[in-house]
């Protein structure tokens, strides 16, 4: 056992302070989270469009029949609740009374509150707590208190937690199970970088976590309420000075990327093999997500295509003005777009390369794509099922008039489509593969030498030694 590491009391029982990070759209399912809890830690079932099964145990494809986005959105919520309930029940059974089971939701997912309420109502006594990030989940504490489960907000700064505490959380202080600090430069998936922070200049997490603890103390929160360090955690021995540290109070650790490569992990074999080949720098912190948040994923051909698409971009004016004094004569039909001379020459070159269509963005720019890509983009936008509360790609909003009021953005993509395809056997080069920035360590860590893929129990046992 790693020096200083002690069990914590959570969900009414002693558990190891190691948490499986929740990974949405069927990646953190009952197999991985149930096994994590059975090993004595806190397993996390993702309630973000989780899988359901038919009578033979086969995954039920999430096919949408509604003619309108609102109708498809209601179908999506129903799928999410059924899947979340099924995954929790199976994980709880697998855990066999050991560890604890949390569920994870994104506050920015479409219908988040309805999904959370629906899952918790039907899994009483099985869920210990709810982790929630990607936005400011003010209502999280109220919903958790209603169902008598802990809540664990995911934040990236003390400032964000202070806002949540003052506005809402202080009213349900007794149900605050922990605060997850997610490093916005290192964590996989959607990250909480603010406009004041430079994505190219990672900051040391220690002073940021100390500031978070100071904020919690200001609110009268006990040092026994853990801060969960998430993002960039690989070996516990790298964090030895955080354990039993009076400045920081109780600390737990979340592992999001390492559980991807286990025997119980539901991701396809090709994805697991991809993880073993990564080099440092192969994870990209980018802003292509339709959520508008920064996110981190493997820089595969899917992401490289999005990078290249945004580079084939020019600004335009609807009137001749300043250096926008050349009329665009390629990529568009029947409209007056005025561009600079240099951009006109670039646009003509792109068209010669096969990028024949110019699509308008919300920022008064045009991006050049192939006719084939244009057809896919327009179909995906038309097929939107409202998986986010606000979607930049399709201009969907899950309330009021169901529109963000902004032009749909062709520089983004349908996140539901690609994440579903990735986890259910799609081409790993043509889909989004979320991962933390430490994923290159699979190739370097001797634990995984000769292609070894551990069980979750073997992984948790290994982590608890410090490695």
Q: What is the pLDDT of residue 163?
A: 95
Taken in order of first residue, the domains within the chain and their CATH numbers are 8-273+441-464 (3.20.20.70), 301-423 (no CATH)
Q: What angle do CA 412, 417, 422 make, to 5 degrees?
A: 105
16, 414 Cβ separation under 8 angstroms: no
Rounded-to-integer distance, Cα 132 and Cα 151, Å = 8
pLDDT of residue 413: 97
* pLDDT averages per 10-residue partition of the chain, 467 residues: 88 94 93 98 96 94 95 96 97 97 94 96 97 89 97 96 96 97 95 88 96 97 97 96 96 97 97 97 95 95 97 96 94 90 97 97 97 97 96 95 95 96 96 96 96 97 96
Dihedral (CA of 73, 78, 81, 86) sign: negative
Q: Is 346 left (phi over 0), alpha (psi -120 to 50) or beta?
A: alpha
pLDDT of residue 272: 97
**% helix, strand, coil for the chain, step of 5:** 35, 20, 45
With a CB cutoff of 8 Å and minimum separation 6, the contacts of 144 are: 129, 130, 150, 151, 172, 175
**Order of strands, sheet of 365-369, starting from the edge strand that comes earlier in the sequence:** 313-315, 365-369, 357-360
* pLDDT reported for residue 35: 98
In this structure, what are the phi and psi dihedrals at residue 110, rounded to the nearest 5 degrees?
Answer: -65, 130
426 SS3 class: coil
Number of H helices, E strands in the chain: 13, 18
Residue 134 has a pLDDT of 80
């Amino acid at each position: 056992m790693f020096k200083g590491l002690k069990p914590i009391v959570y969900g009414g029982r002693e558990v190891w302070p190691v948490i499986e990070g929740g990974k949405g759209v069927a990646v953190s399912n009952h197999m991985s989270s149930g096994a994590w809890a059975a090993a004595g830690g806190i397993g996390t079932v993702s309630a973000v469009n989780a899988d359901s099964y038919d009578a033979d145990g086969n995954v039920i494809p999430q096919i949408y029949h509604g003619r309108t986005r609102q109708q498809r959105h209601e179908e999506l919520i129903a799928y999410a609740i059924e899947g979340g309930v099924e995954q929790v029940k199976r994980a709880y059974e697998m855990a066999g009374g050991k560890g604890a089971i949390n569920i994870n939701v994104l506050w920015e997912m479409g219908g988040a509150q309805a999904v959370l309420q629906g899952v918790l109502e039907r899994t009483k006594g099985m869920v210990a707590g709810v982790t929630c990030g990607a936005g400011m989940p003010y209502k999280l504490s109220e919903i958790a208190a209603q169902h008598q489960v802990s809540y664990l907000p995911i934040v990236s700064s003390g400032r964000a937690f202070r806002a949540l505490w003052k506005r809402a959380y202080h009213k349900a202080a007794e149900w605050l199970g922990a605060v997850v600090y997610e490093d916005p430069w290192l964590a996989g998936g959607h990250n909480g970088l603010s406009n004041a922070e430079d994505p190219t200049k990672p900051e040391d997490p220690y002073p940021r976590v100390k500031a978070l603890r100071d904020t919690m103390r200001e609110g009268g929160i006990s040092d026994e309420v853990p801060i969960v360090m998430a993002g960039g955690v690989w070996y516990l021995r790298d964090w030895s000075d955080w354990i039993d540290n009076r400045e920081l109070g109780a600390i737990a650790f979340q592992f999001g990327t390492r559980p991807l490569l286990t025997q119980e992990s539901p991701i396809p074999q090709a994805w697991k093999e991809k993880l073993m080949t990564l080099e440092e720098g192969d994870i990209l912190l980018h802003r292509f997500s339709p959520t508008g948040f920064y996110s981190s994923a493997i820089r595969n051909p899917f992401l490289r295509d999005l990078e290249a698409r945004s580079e084939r971009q020019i600004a335009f004016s609807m009137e001749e003005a300043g250096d926008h004094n050349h009329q665009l004569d390629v990529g568009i039909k029947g409209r007056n777009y005025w561009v600079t001379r240099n951009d006109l020459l670039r646009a003509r070159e792109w068209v010669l390369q096969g990028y024949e269509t110019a699509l308008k963005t919300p920022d008064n720019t045009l991006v050049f794509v192939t006719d084939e890509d244009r057809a896919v983009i327009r179909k995906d936008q038309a097929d939107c099922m409202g998986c986010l509360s606000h979607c930049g790609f399709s201009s969907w909003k899950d309330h009021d008039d169901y529109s963000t009021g902004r032009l749909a953005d062709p520089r983004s993509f349908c996140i539901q489509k690609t994440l579903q395809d990735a986890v259910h056997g799609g081409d790993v080069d043509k889909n989004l593969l979320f991962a933390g920035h430490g994923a290159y360590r699979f190739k370097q860590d001797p634990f995984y030498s000769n292609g070894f893929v551990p069980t979750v129990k073997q992984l948790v046992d290994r982590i608890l030694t410090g490695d």
